[in-house]
Amino acid sequence: MRSRYSAFVLGLAPYLLATWHPDYRPESLDFSDDHTHWLGLEIKHHQVETATTATVEFIARYKINGRGHRLHEISRFVLEDGRWFYVDGTFPDTDSV
């Protein structure tokens, strides 16, 4: 999760796509017009569900045009061929900071 957050901060679309499960990832990511200023990541909880599935609950804080926001997500990951892949996430809340 931390490496994917860092990739978002740095706009590393190839890394994000490579760590996204191929059955769920978008065809491409475009950061060319992104004005997001990332402020930090807090891992709230992680849990191994089975030998090949896990969840990570996190809050990522960011600003767009000076306004603070937070992304609160519970992400699902799956282990395949010795690598963890992001599958998808749910959003327990949508409050802004």
pLDDT digit string, tens, across residues 12-37: 999 999 999 999 999 999 998 889 99
Q: Can you give the pLDDT at residue 33?
A: 84
For residue 60, what are the β-bridge partners? Answer: 41, 71
Integer Cα distance of 75 and 20 in angstroms: 11
pTM above 0.75, yes or no: yes
Q: Where are the domains of the chain?
A: 2-90
Q: Which fold has domain 2-90?
A: Nuclear Transport Factor 2; Chain: A, (3.10.450)
pLDDT at 1: 86
CA atoms of 61 and 50, how far apart (whole Å): 29
- Separation of alpha carbons 68 and 61, rounded Å: 7
Q: Are 40 and 12 in contact (CB under 8 A)?
A: no
Element (H, E) at 4: helix 2-10
